[in-house]
Structure 1
Amino acid sequence: MRAVIINEYGSKDVLVEQELPKPEIKANQVLVEVYATSINPIDWKLRAGYLKQMLDWSFPIILGWDVAGKIVEVGSEVKNYQVGDEVFARPDTTREGTYAEFTTVDEELLAKKPSNLTFEEAASIPLAGLTAWQCLVDNTKVKQGDKVLIQAGAGGVGSLAIQMAKHLGAYVATTASEKNEAYVKELGADEFINYRTQQFEEVLSDYDAVVDTMGGDILNESIQVLKPGGRLVTIAGQPDEGLAEKHQVTASSYWLTPNGKQLAELGELLEKGILKPQVGSVYGFSAEELQKAHELSETHHAKGKIVVKVK
């Protein structure tokens, strides 16, 4: 099968195309023919070597942890899926990712692809969608009437988190650039903060929850907008515990847990049109195209999700 792999850590140029054998499934897995995948920051962070202590894998490594496609082979213990099913998933984090024509997925991580979505749209959802959902529902426990700040609302996680927070009944503020003001409001944001000209921590106060996707100074400044007892979750760093204590808030970092059952619930919201996929750009399946896709993701200014059409 064709795959785009890395044989060493480095810049986007280490992404190369290679023929590899199809992966072999275990009893609890299916083999998915990949129709589309998408780019997430974990992809280039791992490619650059930032995560090698946490994910100490041998080369070659196939990056990519989003998939939409069709099942072509089913393991002996798989009960709820069959060959020909259209599925999407955030597969387990292994060195055999989704920048390939075929990938394996554990049955418990699979969900049926929403029938109203293209494969490209479906591939944009699992990692970012589960991240947003788990941050809002499982971690900060956002409920009706809460005030929520979502950092970088035009990005992959942010654009889904705005929609989800509105679905949960929250009042939503978000940061974005001027050119994305109409876009984030269309997604449901009640309040827009232009991060180039405004200091969000001076504009907002008494918030119940913050979802931070940026890290660094923005993460620490986000703590200041919370009311005592407020909750912050970040997917981009470690909060300052002393600062959180000073402001009497809960602040934690979060790493997504792949979950097929939750993904199926998101699938229902997508089927009903409550949640809409946000595909910002689509690239072809080659080393050169994936290099361009990584380059865009690394700018932190991509709008919506970056998707790769494999088939």
Structure 2
Amino acid sequence: MAWDAVELAPIVLVTGAEQLLAERAVAGLIAAAKQRDADVEVTRLEGAGYVGGTLLVATSPSLFGEARIVVVQGVEQANDELISDALAYLDAPADDVVLVLHHGGGQRGKKFLDAVRGAGATVVTCEPIKKDTDKVAFAAAELRRAGRRADAAAMRALVEAVGADLRELAASCAQLVADTSGVIGADVVNRYYGGRIEATGFRVADAAIAGQTGQAVALLRHALATGADPVPLVAALAAKLRVLAKVAATRGRGGAAARDLGLAPWLVERALRDLSRWTPEALAAAITAVAQADAEVKGGGRDPVFAVERAVIRVASAAAS
């Protein structure tokens, strides 16, 4: 079950490493329990430092018959007492209790999780959102819940600026909703987050791939001056070139071949535009330059900053040639 489609069940397992989504899933379950019964009793327990018998007390019949929701946080840190009590509870869950077990991801406690799933628990998955297309969809949903929307260029700009951290992306959506009106455009996003967009490796890579040597170097130096690390900057160059190489390999084979790459349509369209200034030889030279820089910034060279700047210049020069 998705985090934003949670429903009450006798036992709910919320699992995954994306804390924001897990927090929202738990909050959604508590809200649903309160909507069903305004007098519901909410109890929170922690996996670390759990005292044996606490879960039994929290789930025992109430004197006044109130419904209860018991949330156990940090199940990945559960001690033997919690696991023992929880396993016993799984054998005979209470009728008027919703037990929410939040596991922060990883393999710790896997046998216990298997037992929870085997007991028929509803499972809510909250894994990190890594693809830009999924981040765009997340941000669009954030705005839609607030009764707002943004155009495609604005969504891409927003993800480029703050998409590295999902919590920050959600906060940025909330800020745009609070401070603006109407359809959110790229100009609005640039006004709020333009400086951060310019400091990202992907903006540096975009300028280099466009053959704008001066602009690429200026953006690179700004990024480095504001704390960017050479390793992700080189990774951004490599990622852009990989997309160009993949799309270049499908040219002449029709749109279906490009769709089979698994890339967002806007990425394919941008790559096709960029490829108009690239020859196969120039693309090969750029990939070689970035591969050399990648090795140097990861310990193979003495000056990572020089290595990434040289790579940016070589890529931009290859595009301009």
How does the TM-score come out when normalised to structure 2?
Answer: 0.25
Determine which structure has the larger strand proportion and give its number. Answer: 1
Which structure's relative contact order is higher, taking Cα pairs within 8 Å and 6+ residues apart? 1
How does the TM-score come out when normalised to structure 1?
Answer: 0.26
